[in-house]
Structures are given as structure tokens and as C-alpha cells.
Amino acid sequence: MIQISVVIPVFNEEESLPELTNWISRVMQEHGFSYEIIFINDGSTDRSWDIIQQISEQNQCIKGLNFTRNYGKSAALDAGFKRAEGEVVITMDADLQDSPDEIPGLFQMVSEGLDVVSGWKKERHDPLSKTIPSKFFNGVTRWISGIELHDFNCGLKAYRKKVVKNISVYGEMHRYIPLLAKWNGFPKIGEKVVQHRARKYGYSKFGLERFLNGFLDLITVSFVHRYKKKPMHFFGSLGSLSFLGGFLITSWLIFQKIYGLSKGENVREIVDQPLFFLALVAIIIGVQLFVTGFIAELMTSSQSKEAEYKIDEEVNFYK
């Protein structure tokens, strides 16, 4: 039985891979863990995949998946989660900024009953251009999600096996895996202060745009969780309100017209009033939203979600 699976997305990290592998292996051997290391090469343009193949030949505990192109961190984690066999699954970045020495502590916390343990880089070796937006992003995410974590972006996390086998990570949702876990019935989420090391090789692959994308992803994941199985509740509600508002306005204009004529007053034509066209637009939008909800319901009931990534090669996986 494998105790720990370490899932590591890789994108152009050829310099760090041998050192990272040796470090993880040493920690595992010192603590007597049975383990596997799963590298997911996410379309690297350097020699990352060649190095993964080389080190996997030297150590059968090292496994690798090679994507046909760059699909993103979420796709890489999803592929790793699907292949992981360990009772505890630990994720970390390949750039050596996450310390493998944290693995025993993370494993211990999950073994004591937590479903998810998220790392907290309390002291960061990053410029202010990254730390300040990160604090703001994490504060907003805590407020919206209701999960008291200080660092949703930390790649060093640990999960009970049941968690990763019951969630699907796609798009850019890797930041919100604790939230996905909670919504899928795994509410025991903890946090551990972890060491954040300065980057030793290469350069950061993430820019400031990830924070904007992060907020958009938070809105997306909240919407998907609430309305994925019942899209008509969202589109139908908005459509009904819009249609009803337009209908009531139109009815009021017609009433005014008829009432004014009955009094012998000179009343403006309904079609000459701007309010009529606003009401007409509201009715049309209402019908469109309602139809959208109906079509979404049909798609939800019949569509099966396929993997968003393609695997070109793999090493050390046995069927």
C-alpha cells in the first residue's frame, strides 16, 4: 500500500527536477514512508520531460505524465489526482520554493482526521508586487468562501485520498480546491505554516494577471457549485423577473391609454413612449433567459464531461 502520493505539475523546470526528486526521496526514506512521485509535464519547452524519464528509470517510485501541450496547472493536478494511489495526496510546485521537509507534518495532520491541509507561506520571499495583491485576494476569498485560510494560492497542500477522487479540477480552479472539497462533503480543512524558499532556478511563470483571473474563477466556481445541477433556477428566475417587469409596465401603459380615452383625454400613443420600448426589451430578454435555462437543463441532464487534456506519454504506470 502506498502511503503518500506527491503530485507535481511541471512547466519548464529542468534545473530543479533532479534536486527536488532527491530531496523528496530522502525525506520519504528517513521517515519510512511508502510513496510515489507523479510528475505531470505540462507542455514544457525545455528538457523537463527528458529528465523525468531519466530519473524514473533510476527510481520506480517516480512516475510521469506528458501532456501534448500546455493545459495549465488545474489540468495537471486533475490528471495527477486521477492516477494517485496514496492514502494521502500531497501537491507541491516543482520550483523548489516548497520544502519537501513539510511532507511528514502534512501527512500527520491528515492522518489525525483532516480532509484537507493547506500550506500557509507566512514569510514569503516574493516582491511586494506579488505579496500585497495576494493578501487582498486571500482576504476576499475568505470572505466569499467562508473558509478561514490565509493562503489559497499555496501549492503545498495535502488531501485525504477520498477528497481528490471525488472532485474534478478544471479551468483555473486549482486555487479553490479546498472550496471544492468543502462543497463535495469534506469540510475538515486545516492549515499549516510552511517554509517558503527563494527561487533557486529559472523565473516565476505567473504574472499579476493571475489575481484578476483568480477573482473571475471564484465567481465561476461559486456559480457552478450553486447552479450546475439546476441552471433553470438561475436563468429562469432572472428571466421570470425580467418578463414580469416588462409585462407589468406594458399593462400599466395600456391601462393608462384605455382609462384616458374613457375620460376623453388626449393620451399619447403607447408606442410613442420610451417606457414601452424598455418594457418590450425586458420581455424579450426574459424569454431569452428562460429559454437559455431550459436548454442548459437539457445539456446538464445529457452531457458527460470529458477530460480537458490529452496525455502523450507516461512512465512507470502499470495497468
> Are 117 and 171 contained in the same domain?
yes
> Are 260 and 197 contained in the same domain?
no
Domain with 118, as residue range(s), is 4-227
CATH number at residue 14: 3.90.550.10
The domain total for the chain is 2
Per-residue pLDDT tens digits for 49-108: 999 999 999 999 999 999 999 998 989 999 999 999 999 999 999 989 899 999 999 999
> Are 195 and 262 contained in the same domain?
no
In a domain, 315, yes or no: no
> Are 244 and 192 contained in the same domain?
no
In a domain, 318, yes or no: no
> Are 142 and 268 contained in the same domain?
no
Confidence of residue 309 (pLDDT cuts 50, 70, 90): confident
Per-residue pLDDT tens digits for 158-200: 999 999 999 888 777 788 888 889 888 899 999 999 987 766 6
Tell me if the pTM is above 0.85: no
Contacts of 162 (CB under 8 A, 6+ apart): 115, 186
